[in-house]
Amino acid sequence: MDVNRMKPALPELLRPADLAEAAARAAAEGEEAEGLAFEGVALSGFQARRLEFSGCTFVRCRFEEISVRWLSFSDCLFTGCDFSNAALKGAAFRRVEMRDCRAVGSEMADAWIAHALISFCRMDYAGFGKGKLESVRFEDCDLKEASFSGCQFKTVEFERCVLTAAEFQNAPLKGVDFRTSRIDGIKLSGGELRGAIVSPEQAVELSKLMGLVVR
């Protein structure tokens, strides 16, 4: 996977802005918040029907418990941000990079995540159910007990992640690379593993989950 193709295309000059004011203006006017730099500000509890960001950077911003019916981020960089318990159902993340972020317990069902690099993030108990993940690389992330049930995967890699007890029921895993991650106790419902990329040690662990006896 070409990581460079996942890097967001950011403008050379970004204008510092207040996140709450920019979000309120964009939601009210139905326009994108574009080319802005946000740092150390909160959007916690924000509610809107539609909100779009393009070519923006977010540093230590808080999105806890926001609820937006249609939320879109394209060509955005997030560093040290908090999405914990946010309602992000159906959100779109396209060409985004997330570093050292938290999304514990966030609800991202039906989300579209494409060309994304997600590293050193805590996303345990997050819900990605029935989402679409395309060209996504998770690196050094905590995803224990996260739900990927019903997801569609295309070119997805989990590098050095913790996926203990994560749910993958009814999510075909063909081409998904788990080789360097912890997958003990993952939950499956049948044939999802066909075509998944695993290490020999993981193959033994998975065979036990499926009731096979390896001698």
Q: Residue 29 class from Cβ within 10 Å (0-12 exposed, 13-18 middle, 19+ buried)?
A: exposed
Residue type, 75: D
Kindly state whether residues 83 and 135 are assigned to the same domain: no
Structure tokens at 164: 């203990």
Final residue in a domain of this structure, among 53, 71, 103 = 103
**What is the pLDDT at residue 16?**
93
Final residue in a domain of this structure, among 73, 103, 133 = 103
* Distance from C-alpha of 27 to C-alpha of 70, rounded to nearest angstrom: 10
Kindly state whether residues 35 and 79 are assigned to the same domain: yes
**118 occurs within a structural domain:** no
- Sequence-distant (≥ 6) Cβ neighbours of residue 27 within 8 angstroms: 48, 49, 50, 51
Rounded to 5°, angle at Cα 152 from 6 and 130: 110
**2 occurs within a structural domain:** no
| Strand partners for 112 | 92, 132
Q: Which residues form the domain of 65?
A: 7-87+97-103
Kindly state whether residues 59 and 129 are assigned to the same domain: no
**What is the pLDDT at residue 197?**
94
**115 occurs within a structural domain:** no
Kindly state whether residues 138 and 206 are assigned to the same domain: yes
Kindly state whether residues 130 and 198 are assigned to the same domain: yes
**What is the pLDDT at residue 148?**
97
**114 occurs within a structural domain:** no
Helix (H) or strand (E) holding 33: strand 33-34
**116 occurs within a structural domain:** no
**108 occurs within a structural domain:** no
**What is the pLDDT at residue 83?**
94
Final residue in a domain of this structure, among 55, 71, 103 = 103
**163 occurs within a structural domain:** yes
**What is the pLDDT at residue 211?**
63
Q: Closest Cα to residue 97, out of 186, 36, 8, 16?
A: 8
96 and 78 Cβ atoms separated by less than 8 Å: yes
**Whole-model pTM above 0.75?**
yes
CATH number at residue 199: 2.160.20.80
**What is the pLDDT at residue 68?**
87
CATH number at residue 34: 2.160.20
Kindly state whether residues 143 and 210 are assigned to the same domain: yes
**75 occurs within a structural domain:** yes
Structural domains of the chain, count? 2
* Helix runs in the chain, H state only: 19-29, 200-209
Distances (CA, A) of 130 to 152, 163, 169: 7, 18, 10
Helix, strand, or coil here: 157? strand
Mean pLDDT by 10 residues, the chain (215 residues): 76 88 89 94 87 96 88 96 92 97 95 97 97 97 97 97 96 95 90 89 80 61
Return the C-alpha torsion angle 124, 109, 178, 209, nearest 10. Answer: 80
Kindly state whether residues 33 and 77 are assigned to the same domain: yes
